[in-house]
Structure 1
Amino acid sequence: MVSAVSETEHIAHTEKFAADLEAEAAGAGCASVAHYLTALTKESWTQAGAERLEREFRNRGYEGAHGVLSHLWSFANDEEARKRAYEAGAASGHPEALYQLALLKEQSEDNRGATDLFQQAAEAGHVEANQTLAWRLESAGDMAGAERWHRNLADRGHTQHLMYLANLRQQENDLTGALSLYQQAAVTGEVDLLPIPAFESWMQTEWRDIFPYGLELDGTPSTSW
């Protein structure tokens, strides 16, 4: 009964949101929600436009202009208009436009096109695209490519990606390299090694002989239990 009510409330909220969006589009003098969102999306590709939208959405209780726009597009029911809007931004090399277009390619199961766009966005500095690219390459078995993009994020201060790098080294039986990366991650104080399965598995490897008492949270060898 609770789930049924929750679903009803969700539908009601969605319908109200769509109606509000249509009213907002009409108030802006746009013929449709798609036209309205196209105008906002094109505005967002400029720095001044993105900053204005960021302020506007924040005042309305939202966070992240580009993320909000992507969500709003789901109510426009016009994937072609959405695609054209992102293609316009991608043509100018905008990282977010490249990323959103990559997501659309992924949804349409154009994996090769998606990977190419994720890489373009990552090369332009888009963090989420970089993460997605690293994981896609890892899933495809391209460990060298995955390591490159995990390293790129780690070098930019995303400590968690040192853990992903360590896990890759561990999978390749490079225990010395893996341990070094675990230690680099530990000394930052930003990660807790013990709850991480990839780190725990050291007990089942040759590390058991090298470090019979395990490692401390900072990655240094324990002297006793």
Structure 2
Amino acid sequence: MTVNWLLFLPAVVLLWTPIALLQGKKARHRVVDIGWHGYWPRTFFFGLHWFDLVRATVGAALLCRATAVDLIQAGIDAHPSLLLRAGVLLVGALLQCRGHLEPKTIHAPFAYIAGLVLGSLYPTVAVFSLALTLVLAIGPGLPGAFFPLVTLIGAGLGYLLESMTGLFDAATLAPALVAPWLLTFLLGKPFSSTYRSRARIEITSPLK
């Protein structure tokens, strides 16, 4: 197994940094299964989510390059590299599921998982997988289904568009994608997500 450590180590730092460490005073948690009317702008434009998306995308891309292997030439010798990649991605996803502001829920790392998809799969497969998943999960109001759906759709499209190479990439990524969803069943906790709190306007007396 050959690993490019100059790419591997930065990838691990990006992927394994828990998002809970970066949540500031302006972050608030809300269970995803309850109504989000009035919260969407503060969620979508929350800079922490965009940072999560970018760092997961970059980290996953670096990891894939660091553990790249020719499946046809390597054959069974490719398995250690793929297992290492899958393990790093899985640990990274699990580390994002704990939000320090709301320990009684499972933090739903939507942006992080989307970043893993963008950084690990072929661009066409990744974009169409995320688009279909959003339509099927977020549209009907089933946000928790995002994780198993993107896993299945990514594997299906990976095989259809990129044959066995795409299927192996999706299979390597699958444990990380489905892990948050499985945690909700194993721990019996609901998903929650973060949004930006409203700025408080303090009125001070002009006599002070």
Higher relative contact order (CA 8 A, sep 6+): 2
- Give TM-score scaled by structure 1 length: 0.25
Greater strand fraction, Structure 1 or Structure 2: 2
**Whose helix proportion is higher, 1 or 2?**
1
What TM-score, normalized by structure 2, do the two folds share? Answer: 0.26
